[in-house]
Every structure is written in C-alpha cells, then in structure tokens.
C-alpha cells in the first residue's frame, strides 16, 4: 500500500469491494495495523491495512491559522501562569491521536475565555511539560525558581500554576517549603475532566483560581471544586490537601484543617486565617535530600525491608502506621521494635504519619505505641504522609543533627501542623 | 387533507421529495457505559447536582453551529439524581466503562436482520451536545454497521448506518435560564437506524417505520411509550434539509411529512431558502424550531476508550443465534411453569417482554402473570373503568415501583393488589403502598371469635373470612399461622 496522502488529508481508501472517503487520521499506538478514517458523517472507523488496495489523495489538508488577539485591559489586574502539564493543559489532537499542550496565552484564551474576563494573563511560563506522576524534586525546584521570578515581578499580582492531579499534593507541599517570605498568592489548580468537553471542571477551577490569585490570601494553596456541583471551589492550604478520589472533580480534600476560603466565580468567602500581601522579596530554600522514602505498614510485614534502605544510603523514612501510630510489635511474628532501634542507631531518621489520613497520632494510648515511641521514632502529629515526605527531604538538607531534625519536623512552617482538630 | 392516490405519488416525485428516517430504539440491557439498570423513575430524586457547560472548539478548531446556539445563554443545568439508577459515570465524574457487550450483541443482531455490513474496527465518538441533556457535554456514539436495506411495496430502501449511542437525560422543567433534567434515562443504550434518503412518499416512510419496528421487537429492546423515537429528514427539490424530531406515533407520520413539505413549498414560493434546522414534532402533526442543524465539527473520538473491534467470531455466533420465533417464545414460557391459558394471554396481549422484565425484578412467574393479566381485568370490572384506562394508569413504571416495594418487603403479596386498586382510584403511588397495620392481638381475638361462631370450616374458608374482616391491613401468612393454632 503506497500513498502520498498525509495525516489530515481527505482521501479515498480503496478496499476490494468498497471505497471509503474521509479524512486520514493517525492510528493509536496500540493499533498499528489499522488505518483510521473520519467519514463525512463525523464518525471514525478503522480499516485493516492488509485489506487496503490504495489510498488516493483527494484534497490536501489545510492548515488553519487563527490570529487571536487578546486585549490587555489596564482596569484588570495582571497575573502570571506556570503551565506544567496534566489534563488541564492537554488538548486532543485528533489528527495525531495524541495530545497537544496549551502553552501560550492564545491557547489558553481559546479554551478558557472566562479566565481572561477577570484578569490579564501577562506571562505564561512553561518550565517543562509532564504528567505529574513523572515529576520529581528537580521539577519542584524548577517550578519554585520560576515562581520566585514571577512573584518578585511588581507587574504581577498573583500566580496560577496548572498541574496534573495525581501527584499535585507533593508539588503543593514542596512549594510551601521552597518558597520563603511569600508576598503574593500562589494558586495551584487542575482539571479532572478533559478540557475538550463542555463539562470540563477546568473552567470553574480557573475562574476561582484567578480570584484567589488577585486576593489577599498570601499562601501557597490549591483551588478546586468543593463538590460535584459547578458552583464554588475551596482554597486549601497546600500542605493539608490530598487527592482522595481517582476521578471526581472534587477529588482534592482538605485534611485535618480548614480551607482558607470558599470561592465562587464572582466572590470570595473567607473561612480561616491567612497571611496577607506584603512587600517581601520571595526567597528560595530549594535544597532537598531525595534519599527519603514513604513506607506503608501492613499486617505481618517483614521489617527486614528496612535493610534495603540502609544499604542504599537512605537518610530518612516516613512510616505510615496504623491507627494512632502502630506497627507490629512484641506479640507479632515480625516485631519491628528491634529493627527500628537498629536502623536509627545507624543514622536513619524515622518519622511516623497516620495511614488513616484523618486524625492525629498519639503513641501513648496503647502499650504497643509506647514501645514503638520508646525506640525514638518521630511522631508527626496530624501531618499528611505526602507532606511529611517532602518536609523530611527539605529538613535533612539543612542539618544532620538528630535533635535539630526532630525539632524542625515538629515546627510549623506552612500550616503542615494543626494543633486544634475541630473535626 | 391531500388525497393520496397514484397522481399524488407522482406529485411527490415531481417535487423531488427526499426523505430519510432515523429510528432510535432503547435496548433492554443495563446502561451502555456503566452498570446502572436502565429504569425510569417517578419518585423524588435522591439528590440534585448543578452544572454549567462551556462551548469548546471541535477538532477542526470550529465551534459547532448547534453548540454555539445552545451556549448563547449562560445556563445552569440542574440534574436530579437517583442512587439506584445513576452512578458516577452518568454524573460525568468517572470515565466510561467498557461498552456493554449485551447491548453490542443486540445491535449486531439487528444489523444482521437489516442486511447491514458490520464494521470490523470502529471508534466510539463524542458528539457535542451542550443543551445540558448530557452531563458531559457530549453524547457517546459509535457506528456499528452500514449499507443494509429493507424491502417495501415501493421498492428497496437503503439503510445507511447503524449507530449505538447513549440516551440523553430527560428534561423536566425549563425554569427561566435553568433547565432541570432527570438523570435516570441518561446512558440507556439507544440504537439509531438511519435510512438513506430513498423514501419517496409519506406512505412509504410509514411502511419503513413499521417494518423496522417489527425487526426491533423481535430483539431485546425496550417497549412502551418513549422507548422508540423517530426523526425524519426531509427536503424537496430546491430546499434545504430539515430534521423533524420526536415522533412517538407512526399514525401522525404521514400528516407531519405532508405539513413539512407544504412548509418548505411556502419558502420556495416566496423565493426564499428555508433554514437547515432541527424541528420538534407537535402532537397535531405540525412542528416547531428546536435548533440549527449540527455539522460534522461536533464529532471527535472518545479518548477514554480503545478502538472497538468487532470480531468475526462474535458475528458468526450472533448469526447462529438470531432472535427466537414465536414458537420458541412459547417454549420459554412453558419453562416458567405458567399454565397454557396464561401463556396464551401473555402472547396475545403482547405482554411477553414485560413479563420477562418483571421476572428479573421478582422471580415469581405466577404473581407476575396475575399482575399483568388478571388484576387489571378484575379492577376494571369492579371499578367500572375501561381496561385501556387501567392499562394507562397501571403503566410499566407504576408496576415496577410496586413490584420493587414488594421485593423490599414494604408490602406483602396480599397488599399488592390493593395497592394497585388504590392507585387506580387516584391515590399517589407513594401513598398507595403504605398500609396501616392492625394490632396482632386484635386480629387474634377476632380469629378466635370467628372460629367459635362458625365451626367446622376449612383453613382457607376461615382465612377468607378473616381477610375480609381486616381488608388488607394484615399479613396473610401471619393470619394463617394464628388460624392453624386454633383449628385442629
């Protein structure tokens, strides 16, 4: 089968008994033996390559170039955006079958005209384009550097960062620690429903993010749907947010804290205290030790897994324990107490968080807890495991002193600890 | 009214009438892209959800004209949600599951019966619809087959395509700029059969509709009002194509087509172009503007699903097991243990499909046969209401509701018939399943009294007397227990 037709061209596909007409599309990776054709009705069908006698070019595809001119209005506040990837910045390219990224103000304007009603987006920075599950600490550092530059630009009133949802919580926590002396709002937002559909949650999330970015709430926060209704979002402290649903638009929930505010498309209702705008210059505190790990405890688990981390020169471990902070102890066939003592003696820092997600740890209630507590492991109160992992990597870069590390881990830098749980 | 004779047929030909039919039929399976049951609800919803939709540029970069029309206003959509027939998929909160295999099989059966060629590889598409009738802003649809035909008295009519799609949500109230929908119907598998514009006369349109209807009914499709809908595409020489939507009743089809032809003729007489648009059919056979005709810009692939491969083996299997004939249906019914009379009645009254459907709710063939055949008749004669009217009041949805309450033991078998009576008498269905319960001690005293008064009767005779006394406020099983205690 030879053809001079390219993707997007209008073609005739000749099979032995029938000729189809339509637009030639790219075939998905998984279906290499298939030619995909868009019929005049709009329907796509697949044709087996081995059945095709000829693909005849009828009409070349025409590149459409639209000139979108976004008017900048001086009456509107200026904001900047950092685009990092994820559903919110991915648009389907049906010719390719894959996605194109939205990386310019013009792209954004085409998809999110509502955003531009409230603010001028005067800068769009793209440090990289990745799905959030592909990111690591170096990516968080890049975002932080870009953010610092934008926040210290006096023309910009606030910053929106769009991001994939999967590991958004980690980036959010990292920025909370990396950006010191914050002077303006830093808003992370996302989309759970692809933006090619009219029902995308990105619209409300971005509209509310724009309001948050020009508000007085000078915090790193995540703004997203509060419920499955398209009526308002919550602005949630970036260290206290967790993705708790794989697909719902209100996937992100505040854990062991309260949102800063409830944000409608046209107003903000404040819920809890926040820092206000100021004339600080934002500083970076980027150093990070990535030899940290997060381990979830399960029944009967063999503690010798910890040998791996020792051997591979890990510096710190977050153990996500059961209930108030428990792991298998003396009545278990796999008592963790001895191993925990041993690895700490060898220099590994061990912190504890709650696998219940909600609630505060307290190792003193049960004897098992006391036994574990006596090994010297650090119980991180009500801190989220993901936030704890990031914070440990950040703290370990500051000091090697065990007592100092413990003190820093239990110092509240950015709302990660809450000494009053109301729910 | 125009007289339809030979000259009339020639008249249609002279006008260059081009007419194509689109039949939409609900299939009798769970929903197309999730595992929710395909049942419509009457009650108040469990909760409501508020949503907005935003027009999005299609793959060509254009915003579809129909989509533009719909998004002109900043509407808020309110969805009424039912926990037992809706899940996160209909709420646009979870990606679609794999296409319902049963629905696909039924579609393929119908494709074969319509002499279509089945597409071996096809892609599930999203058709942009932003009037709110789909929470996602699009309707999932896939082309299954093409190029079939049916024979009519006036020659072959080509079937252009067969499409399996999701039904939309039911609009309930339009309240200013807000529209309220029920989500129960969203996602029910809907098979679209589109004929080529080969139909030359309104009569032939009706014949095609009836013929397709016959084929559909031999397969597992939903029955009753609203489960089949017909659209007609019409143009005459020199005019633009108009889609007439929402025929329920083939009887008004001829009249509606004639009305549309004269409407298009009026434009031509005034030397004007009629707009290409979608119009809603009204019960009197006229029509009303609904929206501009959508273009191709509104179709793009459903990226959450893989290409749909329809394997040769599946097609062969379906060919071997095409729908059963009437004689085979009889055999099936015999297996349920129903007597000959009941079976005959079920088939004669065309209640076989409902019977099967109700059996899936409650596995009690005798009772279900009674509900469908005996009770309506008894109530009709007692209340002196025509059986037709009873049939309309005790429609499928009402019966499903009562049956489900029986299944949940909210009412007993004895009470079911009374519930139906009370509904016929005008009580709301929610109330008609509520029964006062008689104090069991009072019942027991009454039973002792009856047994003393009329000695030597059979258990069943006492039962009858007691039931008559309390008129359904007691449970038959309990009563029998008590009677047995005193009658030895």
Q: Give the pLDDT score at B336.
A: 84
Which class is A78-284 in CATH? alpha beta
Q: Give the pLDDT score at B323.
A: 77
In this structure, what token pair is assigned to residue B322?
Answer: 């095409």
Per-residue pLDDT at B62 exceeds 70 = no
Per-residue pLDDT at B272 exceeds 80 = yes
- pLDDT band of residue B72 (cuts 50, 70, 90) is very low
What chain B residue is nearest to A63 in terms of C-alpha separation? B60
Q: Give the pLDDT score at B33.
A: 98
pLDDT tens-digit series, residues B138-154: 999 999 999 999 989 88
Specify whether A87 is catalytic: yes
Q: Name which of B170, B254, B171 is nearest B208 in CA terms.
A: B254
pLDDT tens-digit series, residues A113-124: 888 888 999 999
Cα gap B237→B265, rounded to integer Å? 10
Q: Give the pLDDT score at B2.
A: 44
Other CB atoms within a 10 A radius of the CB of residue B106 amount to 24
Number of alpha helices (DSSP H) and beta strands (DSSP E) in chain B: 18, 17
Q: Report the CATH architecture of A10-59.
A: Roll (2.30)
Q: Which of A82-91, A249-258, B73-82, B386-395 has the highest mean pLDDT?
A: A249-258
Cα gap A105→A116, rounded to integer Å? 10
Q: Name which of A85, A153, A73 is nearest A117 in CA terms.
A: A73
Distance from CA of B276 to the nearest CA of A (A): 16
Does A200 contact chain B (CB < 8 Å)?
yes
* Residue A299, SS3 per DSSP: coil
Per-residue pLDDT at B483 exceeds 80 = yes
Catalytic one of A38, A84, A87, A118? A87
pLDDT tens-digit series, residues B414-458: 788 888 888 988 888 888 888 877 777 888 888 888 888 888 888
Distance from CA of A250 to the nearest CA of B (A): 9
Residue B155: burial class (beta carbons within 10 Å; 0-12, 13-18, 19+): exposed
Give the pLDDT of chain A (423 residues) as one tens digit per residue: 567 888 889 999 999 989 999 999 888 777 788 999 999 888 999 999 999 999 999 999 877 666 677 777 888 999 999 999 898 988 877 666 667 888 888 888 888 888 888 899 999 999 999 999 999 999 999 999 999 999 999 999 999 999 999 999 999 999 999 999 999 999 999 999 988 888 999 999 999 999 999 999 999 999 999 999 999 999 999 999 999 999 999 999 999 999 999 999 999 999 999 999 999 999 999 999 999 999 999 999 999 999 999 999 999 999 999 999 999 999 999 999 999 999 999 999 999 999 999 999 999 999 999 999 999 999 999 999 999 999 999 999 999 999 999 999 999 999 999 999 998
- pLDDT band of residue B469 (cuts 50, 70, 90) is confident
In this structure, what token pair is assigned to residue B234?
Answer: 């019409």
Q: Which CATH number fits domain A292-409: 1.10.101.10, 1.20.140.10, 1.10.520.10, 3.40.50.40?
A: 3.40.50.40
Q: Where are the domains of chain B?
A: 17-301, 324-432, 440-486
| Partners of residue B94 in chain A, C-beta under 8 Å | 247-248
Cβ-proximal residues to A403 (8 Å cutoff; 6+ apart), any chain: none
Which residues of B53-166 form beta strands (DSSP E)?
76-81, 117-118, 121-122, 125-128, 138-152, 155-166
Cβ distance A64 to B61 less than 8 Å, yes or no, reads yes
* Rounded alpha-carbon distances, angstroms, from residue B281 to A329, B183, B374: 74, 23, 37
Pairing of strands A186-189, A158-162: parallel
Q: Give the pLDDT score at B327.
A: 53
- pLDDT band of residue B3 (cuts 50, 70, 90) is very low
Cβ distance A198 to B128 less than 8 Å, yes or no, reads yes
Cβ distance B125 to A195 less than 8 Å, yes or no, reads no
Q: Give the pLDDT score at B87.
A: 97
Q: Where are the domains of chain A?
A: 10-59, 78-284, 292-409
Cα gap B102→B108, rounded to integer Å? 10
Q: Give the pLDDT score at B52.
A: 92
Catalytic one of A9, A139, A166, A382? A166
* Rounded alpha-carbon distances, angstroms, from residue A37 to A34, A88, B60, B61, B123: 10, 28, 15, 18, 10
In this structure, what token pair is assigned to residue B200?
Answer: 């030359």
What one-character-per-residue DSSP string does A46-77 give?
EEEGGG--EEEEEE----------PPP-TTSP
Cα gap A156→A184, rounded to integer Å? 9
As for the ipTM of the complex, it is 0.91
Cβ distance A198 to B59 less than 8 Å, yes or no, reads no
Cβ distance A203 to B125 less than 8 Å, yes or no, reads no
Per-residue pLDDT at B58 exceeds 80 = no
pLDDT tens-digit series, residues B210-265: 889 888 988 899 988 889 888 999 999 888 889 998 776 767 888 888 889 889 98
Per-residue pLDDT at B69 exceeds 70 = no
In this structure, what token pair is assigned to residue B133?
Answer: 């009738």
- pLDDT band of residue B311 (cuts 50, 70, 90) is very high
Residues of A numbered 208-237 whose beta carbons fall under 8 angstroms of chain B's beta carbons: which are they? 228-231
Torsion angle of alpha carbons B178, B179, B183, B185, nearest 10°? -170
């Amino acid at each position: 089968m030879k053809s001079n037709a390219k993707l997007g061209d209008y073609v005739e596909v000749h099979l032995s008994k029938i000729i189809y007409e339509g637009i030639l599309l790219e075939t998905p990776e998984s279906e290499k033996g298939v030619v995909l054709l868009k019929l005049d009705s709009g329907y796509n069908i697949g044709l087996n390559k081995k059945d095709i006698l000829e693909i005849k070019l009828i009409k070349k595809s025409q590149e459409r170039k639209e000139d979108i001119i976004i008017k900048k209005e001086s009456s509107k506040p200026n904001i900047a955006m950092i685009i990092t990837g994820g559903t919110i910045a991915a648009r389907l390219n049906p010719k390719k079958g894959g996605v194109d990224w939205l990386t310019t103000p013009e792209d954004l304007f085409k998809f999110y005209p509502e955003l531009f009603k409230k603010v001028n987006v005067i800068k769009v920075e793209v440090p990289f384009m990745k799905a959030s599950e592909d990111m690591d600490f170096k990516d968080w550092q890049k975002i932080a550097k870009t953010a610092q530059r934008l926040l210290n630009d006096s023309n910009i009133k606030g910053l929106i960062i769009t991001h994939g949802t999967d590991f958004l919580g980690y980036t959010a926590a990292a920025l909370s620690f990396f950006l010191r002396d914050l002077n303006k709002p830093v808003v992370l937002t996302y989309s759970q429903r692809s933006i090619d559909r009219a029902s995308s949650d990105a619209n409300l999330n971005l509209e509310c993010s724009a309001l948050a970015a020009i508000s007085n709430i000078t915090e790193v926060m995540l703004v997203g749907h509060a419920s499955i209704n398209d009526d308002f979002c919550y602005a949630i402290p970036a260290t206290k947010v967790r993705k708790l649903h794989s697909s719902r638009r209100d996937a992100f929930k505040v854990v062991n804290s309260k949102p800063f505010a409830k944000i409608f498309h046209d107003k903000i209702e404040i819920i809890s205290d926040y820092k206000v705008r100021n004339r600080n210059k934002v500083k970076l505190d980027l150093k990070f030790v990535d030899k940290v790990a997060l381990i979830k405890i399960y029944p009967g688990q063999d503690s010798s897994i910890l040998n791996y981390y020792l051997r591979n020169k890990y510096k710190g471990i977050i153990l996500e324990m059961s209930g108030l902070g428990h792991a298998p102890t003396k009545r278990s066939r796999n008592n963790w107490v001895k191993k925990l003592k041993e690895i700490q003696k060898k220099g590994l820092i061990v912190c504890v968080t709650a696998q219940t997600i909600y609630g505060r740890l307290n190792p003193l209630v049960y004897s098992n807890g006391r036994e574990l507590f006596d090994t010297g492991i650090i119980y991180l109160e009500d801190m989220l495991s993901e936030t704890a992992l990031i914070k440990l990597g950040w703290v370990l870069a500051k000091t090697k002193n065990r007592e100092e590390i413990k003190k820093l881990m239990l110092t509240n830098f950015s709302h990660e600890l809450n000494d009053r749980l109301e729910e | 009214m125009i007289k339809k004779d030979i000259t009339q047929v020639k008249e249609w030909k002279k006008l260059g009438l081009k007419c194509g039919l689109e039949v939409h039929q609900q299939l009798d399976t769970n929903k197309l892209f999730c595992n929710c049951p395909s049942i419509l609800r009457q009650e108040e919803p469990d909760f409501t959800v508020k949503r907005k939709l935003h027009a999005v540029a299609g793959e060509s970069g254009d915003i579809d004209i129909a989509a533009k029309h719909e998004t002109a206003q900043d509407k808020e959509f309110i969805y009424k949600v039912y926990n037992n027939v809706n899940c996160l998929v209909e709420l646009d909160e979870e990606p679609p599951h794999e296409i319902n295999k049963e629905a696909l099989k039924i579609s393929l059966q119908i494709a074969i019966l319509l002499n279509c060629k089945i597409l071996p590889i096809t892609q599930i598409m999203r058709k942009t619809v932003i009037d709110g009738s789909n929470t996602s802003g699009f309707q999932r649809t896939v082309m299954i087959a093409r190029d079939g035909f049916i024979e009519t008295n006036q020659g072959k009519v080509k079937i252009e395509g067969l499409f399996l799609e999701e039904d939309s949500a039911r609009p309930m109230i339009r309240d200013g700029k807000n529209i309220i929908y029920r989500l129960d119907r969203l996602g029910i598998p809907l098979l679209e059969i589109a004929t080529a514009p080969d139909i030359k006369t309104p009569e032939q349109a009706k014949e095609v509709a009836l013929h397709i209807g016959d084929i559909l009914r031999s397969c597992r499709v939903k029955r009753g009002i609203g489960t089949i809908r017909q659209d007609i595409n019409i143009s005459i020489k020199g005019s633009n194509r108009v889609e007439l939507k929402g025929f329920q009743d083939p009887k008004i089809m001829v009249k509606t087509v004639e009305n549309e032809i004269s409407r298009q003729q009026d434009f031509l007489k005034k030397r004007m172009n009629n707009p290409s648009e979608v119009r809603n059919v009204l019960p009197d056979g006229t029509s009303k503007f609904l929206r501009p005709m959508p273009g191709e810009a509104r179709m793009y692939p459903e990226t959450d699903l893989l290409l749909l491969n329809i394997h040769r083996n599946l097609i062969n299997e379906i060919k071997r097991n095409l729908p059963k004939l009437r004689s085979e249906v009889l055999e099936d019914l015999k297996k349920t243990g129903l007597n000959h009379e009941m079976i005959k009645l079920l088939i004669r009254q065309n209640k076989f499909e409902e019977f099967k459907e109700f059996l899936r709710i409650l596995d009690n063939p005798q009772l279900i046969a009674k509900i469908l055949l005996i009770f309506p008749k008894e109530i009709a004669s007692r209340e002196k209401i025509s059986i037709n009217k009873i049939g309309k009041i005790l429609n499928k949805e009402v019966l499903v509701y009562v049956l489900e309450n029986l299944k949940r033991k909210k009412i007993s078998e004895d009470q079911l018939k009374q519930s139906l009576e009370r509904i016929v008498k005008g009580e709301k269905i929610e109330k008609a399943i509520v029964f006062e319960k008689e104090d069991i001690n009072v019942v027991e005293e009454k039973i002792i009294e009856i047994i003393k008064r009329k000695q030597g009767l059979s258990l069943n005779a006492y039962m009858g007397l007691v039931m008559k006394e309390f008129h359904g406020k007691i449970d038959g099983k309990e009563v029998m227990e008590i009677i047995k205690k005193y009658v030895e």
